C-alpha cells in the first residue's frame, strides 16, 4: 500500500488499478439487443457485399464496346429482379440497385442518353464499369467484417444485418455495486433535514458507468459507521465485479471506507497527485467466488467523482470489456481562453470547446472548485494542466475529450 504521506501519479494509480484486471466472459445476444455492446470475437464476412454487380444509377446497361451506337431496349431490370443475359446489339433499362445482366459492363445514367425512334443513343466514350458497383466491392467473403473489442454502433449493426447475421458474441457487462457513504446524503424525493444534501453522485455515476458499458446492479446507502461500512462492502463484493464508493476515503474521523477496505482486502493506492480528487482509493475486495472484486473509492465531492469516473472508471471498463477505445480518452490540442496557475498537483479543468477556422479554443468554467458540479454541465473536455505551471491566454494545452464511446 502507498504511504499516506505520498501522492502517486495518475499514471501509477491507473496502472495499479488495471494490473490484475481480466476481460469479463462473453455471451451471445440477438443483434437487435446488442447496440453499444463490445464484440468478444472477430466477425468474418460470409457473403460478398454487394452479392452481385449492380447499377449505381437509374439508366441503361450495355456493353462498353457499343458506345456511340443507337441500341434498342431488350429488357427492363428493377432492383430484386434476376435479369436475363443481355442480348447482342441491345441495351437494358436498369434502375439503381438492379443486377447487371451478364454481358453488360457499364451503365450510363439516363440524363446522359438520348431517346430516339430507333432506340437509345449513347455517348461516344464510356468508361469500363461506369456506374457499376462490382460484386464484393464493399465486403469480400472471408475477410474480417468487424474487429473484436469494438463497440457496436448503428453502422456496425447494419453491417451485420447485411451478412444475414442475427446473433453475435459480446462481452458481458461488468456488474457494478455503487455505494454512497455519509449520514448527510439523502436521495432525491425525500425531505431534507438540517445539515443534509441530496445525492448528486449516484445518478451521475450510474449514467456514466452505463455509458461506459457497465451494468449497475446494486445501489446502496452506507451510514458513517465502521462495522456497517465493512458489512456493506463485504456484501457488495460478493456478486459484483467492481465495488465503487463515494465519500469516506479521506482522513476524517467519520471516513471509514479506507480502513474497512484494508481490513477486508487490499488497498493498492490512496491519495493521488491530481486536482480535483486527491483522496481516491484503489484496491481489491474478496468476492464469493474465491477471487476478488475491484474496489474504487471516489471522493464525495461531485466534481471529484466526475473527474475520477472519466480518468479511472472508463479505462477500467475498457480493460474489463477488452475494448481498446475505452481505455484512453481522445487527446486533442487547444488554445486556452483562460489563464491559470497550478500547485504541486496536475489539474484537470472542466472546459468547453469551440471549433474555429484558426483551431480549437478551450473556455474554462469560472469556478473550478471541486464542489461546483455546474462546472461539469456542458463540459466537453478536461484540460490537463501540469503541476507548477503557469498558463496564459492563447497557450496551447492538452485536453481530454469526454467521449463515452
Q: Per residue in 229-246, pLDDT tens? A: 999 999 999 999 999 999
> What does the pLDDT read at residue 3?
42
- Grouping H, G, I as helix, E, B as strand and the rest as coil, residue 123 is coil
Partners of 94 in beta bridges:
59, 77
- Sign, Cα dihedral of 150, 152, 153, 157: positive
> What does the pLDDT read at residue 251?
53
Query: Which residues neighbour 109 within 8 Å (Cβ) at sequence distance 6 or greater?
Result: 57, 58, 59, 131
DSSP annotation of 303 reads H
Measured CA to CA, the distance from residue 325 to residue 306 in angstroms comes to 20
Nearest Cα residue to 16 out of 211, 256, 266: 266
> What does the pLDDT read at residue 70?
98
Q: Does domain 54-133 have CATH number 2.170.190.11?
A: yes
For helices 226-239 and 257-264, angle between their N-to-C axes, nearest 10 degrees: 60
Give the right CATH number for 10-24+173-327 from 3.20.20.70, 3.90.1150.10, 3.40.980.10, 3.40.50.1820: 3.40.980.10
- Grouping H, G, I as helix, E, B as strand and the rest as coil, residue 236 is helix
Q: What is the 3-state secondary structure (H, E, C) of 2-21?
A: CCCCCCECHHHHHHHHHCCC
Strands 381-385 and 390-391, by their bridges, are: unpaired
pLDDT in tens, 6-46: 789 999 999 999 998 999 999 999 999 999 999 999 999 99
Partners of 378 in beta bridges:
none
> What does the pLDDT read at residue 333?
97
C-alpha distance from residue 189 to each of 66, 183, 186, 372, 377 (Å): 78, 16, 9, 22, 22
Residue 48 C-alpha cell reads as 460478398
> What does the pLDDT read at residue 225?
87
Instruction: Map out the domains of the chain as residue ranges.
Output: 10-24+173-327, 27-48+148-171, 54-133, 331-401
Residue 37 in contact with residue 172, Cβ under 8 Å? no
For residue 368, how far is the Cα from the chain centroid? 26
What is the pLDDT tens value at each position of the chain, 405 positions in all? 444 347 899 999 999 999 989 999 999 999 999 999 999 999 999 999 999 999 999 999 999 999 999 999 999 999 999 999 999 999 999 999 999 999 999 999 999 999 999 999 999 999 999 999 999 999 999 999 999 999 999 999 999 999 999 999 999 999 999 999 988 889 999 999 999 999 999 999 999 999 999 999 999 999 888 899 999 999 999 999 999 999 876 555 556 888 899 999 998 887 899 999 888 889 999 988 888 999 999 998 999 999 999 999 999 999 999 999 999 999 999 999 999 999 999 999 999 999 988 899 999 999 999 889 999 999 999 999 999 999 999 999 999 999 867
> What does the pLDDT read at residue 279?
84
CATH superfamily placement of domain 27-48+148-171: Molybdopterin biosynthesis moea protein, domain 2 (3.90.105.10)
CATH superfamily placement of domain 331-401: MoeA, C-terminal, domain IV (2.40.340.10)
Query: Which residues neighbour 53 within 8 Å (Cβ) at sequence distance 6 or greater?
Result: 99, 100, 132, 133, 134, 135
Partners of 284 in beta bridges:
266, 294
> What does the pLDDT read at residue 5?
47
Amino acid at each position: 500500500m502507498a504511504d499516506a504521506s505520498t501522492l502517486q501519479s495518475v499514471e501509477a494509480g491507473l496502472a495499479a488499478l488495471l494490473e490484475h484486471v481480466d476481460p469479463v466472459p462473453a455471451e451471445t445476444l440477438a443483434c437487435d439487443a446488442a447496440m453499444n455492446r463490445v464484440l468478444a470475437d472477430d466477425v468474418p464476412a460470409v457473403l460478398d457485399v454487394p452479392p452481385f454487380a449492380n447499377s449505381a444509377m437509374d439508366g441503361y446497361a450495355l456493353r462498353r464496346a457499343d458506345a456511340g451506337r443507337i441500341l434498342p431496349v431488350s429488357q427492363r431490370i428493377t432492383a430484386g429482379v434476376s435479369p436475363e443475359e443481355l442480348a447482342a446489339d441491345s441495351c437494358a433499362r436498369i434502375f439503381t440497385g438492379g443486377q447487371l445482366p451478364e454481358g453488360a459492363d457499364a451503365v450510363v445514367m439516363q440524363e446522359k442518353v438520348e431517346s430516339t425512334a430507333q432506340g437509345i443513343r449513347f455517348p461516344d466514350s464510356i468508361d469500363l464499369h461506369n456506374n457499376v458497383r462490382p460484386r464484393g466491392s464493399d465486403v469480400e467473403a472471408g475477410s474480417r467484417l468487424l474487429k473484436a473489442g469494438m463497440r457496436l454502433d448503428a453502422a456496425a449493426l447494419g453491417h451485420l444485418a447485411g451478412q444475414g447475421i442475427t446473433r453475435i458474441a459480446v462481452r458481458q457487462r461488468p456488474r457494478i455495486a455503487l455505494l454512497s457513504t455519509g449520514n448527510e446524503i439523502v436521495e432525491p424525493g425525500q425531505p431534507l433535514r438540517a445539515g443534509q444534501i441530496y445525492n448528486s453522485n449516484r445518478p451521475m455515476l450510474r449514467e456514466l458507468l452505463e455509458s461506459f458499458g457497465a451494468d449497475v446492479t446494486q445501489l446502496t446507502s452506507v451510514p458513517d459507521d465502521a462495522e456497517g461500512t465493512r458489512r456493506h462492502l463485504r456484501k457488495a463484493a460478493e456478486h459484483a465485479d467492481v465495488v465503487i464508493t463515494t465519500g469516506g476515503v479521506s482522513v476524517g474521523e467519520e471516513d471509514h471506507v479506507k480502513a474497512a477496505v484494508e481490513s477486508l482486502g487490499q488497498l493498492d493506492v490512496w491519495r493521488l497527485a491530481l486536482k480535483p480528487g486527491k483522496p481516491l482509493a484503489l484496491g481489491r475486495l474478496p468476492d464469493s467466488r474465491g477471487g476478488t472484486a475491484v474496489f474504487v473509492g471516489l471522493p464525495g465531492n461531485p466534481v471529484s467523482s466526475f473527474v475520477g469516473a472519466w480518468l479511472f472508471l472508463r479505462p477500467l471498463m475498457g480493460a474489463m470489456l477488452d475494448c481498446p477505445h475505452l481505455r484512453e480518452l481522445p487527446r486533442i490540442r487547444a488554445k486556452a481562453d483562460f489563464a491559470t496557475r497550478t500547485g504541486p498537483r496536475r489539474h484537470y479543468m472542466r472546459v468547453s470547446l469551440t471549433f474555429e477556422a484558426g483551431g480549437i479554443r478551450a473556455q474554462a468554467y469560472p469556478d473550478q472548485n471541486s464542489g461546483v458540479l455546474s462546472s461539469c454541465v456542458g463540459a466537453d473536455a478536461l484540460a490537463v494542466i501540469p503541476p507548477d505551471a503557469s498558463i496564459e491566454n492563447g497557450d496551447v494545452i492538452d485536453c481530454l475529450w469526454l467521449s463515452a464511446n
